[in-house]
Homo-oligomer: A and B are copies of this chain.
Amino acid sequence: MSRVQETLGKDQGRVTLQAIAARLDVSTATVSLALRDSPVVAETTRTRVRKLAEEMGYIYNRSAAALRTDRSQIVGLGINDITNPYFAELLNLLEEAVGAQGRSILLGTYGESRPRQQRVLRTLKEYRPDGLILCPAGGSTADDFAGLVPTRIPVVFLSRSVDGLPFDFVGGDEMGAMRTGVRHLAELGHRRIAMLGGSDLTSTGRERLRGYREGLADCGLPHDPDLEYPGYGTRELGVAGITAVLERPDPPSAAICFSDLVAFGAMLGLRHAGREAGRDFSIVGYDDNPEAALWYPALTTIRVPPAEMVANAVGLMHSRMAEPGLPQRRIILPTELIVRSSTIPA
């Protein structure tokens, strides 16, 4: 028998500021101020108000407040796939960071579908979010986001970006990362290094692919298009990709992957072919999934610190809320190669 249930039992009219004000014989303004701890209201009334509000089971109505103040305390998050552990981790951190500001995350997902992304964006806008954090779907164009510009909602692209838009961005140093990944493999003596995954349709795909090629050039290794197996970063692509490149006339002895997911797929594909990463083949991943350290063999991979990604994204959003006129900012975080057991000398 909860206290709340008793007091609200009769359901006699909802509990609003009005209701509290009436019972206390004060104005709604006073109640509003008191509940928000305004210093202008007397200590005694404040406590009286808070007490009665509690007793009556008052619940603040954010829709009403949002309508009045033009602040929804909502951060819209548009993301392609939270099923990917790396994005799940970002979402988790974002939820915490945003929660610490007293805001909540309104979520929209769309895979790599631009039409779905359009629908998500439209819906998110309708809630008048205080800010928007977006990881655009593959193939997105500036036009897809142009509608966001006049809304003056602070937008930050996270991880992936789209050119030609005035939004802030935080991501990793993709090219640098791939170059050090390739160098690591080259230093182990590998000359034929495949690249699995990396779609032309995302900024990360393009940059990692480019970093791969530059990495080869850095090390004086020739670029063989036959060793590239591009596409979105899924496990399935990893399996298909490793299978394909192993069938080339002059197969590789190592592969660098667009993501850990691809790498996991590749390691599985190797096994199907009677090979084993860390024994007779080398694999480098990207993201440093929680699973990466636990796989067998433990995956050598590239880490973009998720906590810093999120802290920066929220920081950019926050500062732009305060100062909309800020110039566009792009934060590129350094990455780190984590060498484990999936890479070995050629």
Report how far A20 CA is from B62 CA in the complex, Å: 26
Measured between beta carbons, the chain B residues less than 8 angstroms from A62 are 63, 126-128
A89 contacts the other chain (CB 8 A): yes
Write out, one digit per residue, whether chain A residues 92-126 have a CB within 8 A of any chain B CB (1) or not (0).
Answer: 10011001000011111100000000011011111
B83 and A88 contact, CB distance less than 8 A: yes
Structural contact, B290 and A271, CB atoms closer than 8 A: no
Number of copies: 2
Considering the chains assembled together, what is the distance between the CA atoms of A295 and B268 in angstroms? 8
Report whether over half of chain A's contact residues are helix, strand or loop; otherwise say mixed: helix
Q: How large is the interface on A (under 10, 10 to 19, 20 to 34, 35 or more residues)?
A: 35 or more
Is A291's CB within 8 Å of the partner chain B?
yes
* Interface contacts beyond A104-B106, A291-B291: sample of 14 additional A-B pairs, CB < 8 Å, sorted by A: A5-B150, A11-B150, A60-B126, A61-B128, A62-B127, A63-B66, A63-B127, A74-B106, A83-B85, A83-B290, A96-B109, A264-B291, A265-B294, A295-B295
**B57 and A150: CB pair below 8 A?**
yes
- Cβ-neighbour of A85 out of B9, B88, B91, B123 (below 8 A): B88
Q: How far is the CB of A166 from chain B (nearest CB, A)?
A: 11
- Asked if A64 CB lies within 8 Å of chain B CBs, one says yes
Residue A332 interfacial (CB < 8 Å): no
29 residue pairs from A and B, CB less than 8 Å apart = A2-B149, A4-B150, A5-B150, A59-B122, A61-B67, A61-B126, A63-B66, A63-B67, A63-B127, A63-B128, A81-B92, A82-B88, A82-B91, A82-B92, A83-B89, A92-B109, A95-B108, A95-B109, A96-B109, A99-B108, A104-B106, A104-B107, A104-B108, A104-B123, A105-B107, A235-B294, A264-B294, A295-B295, A295-B296
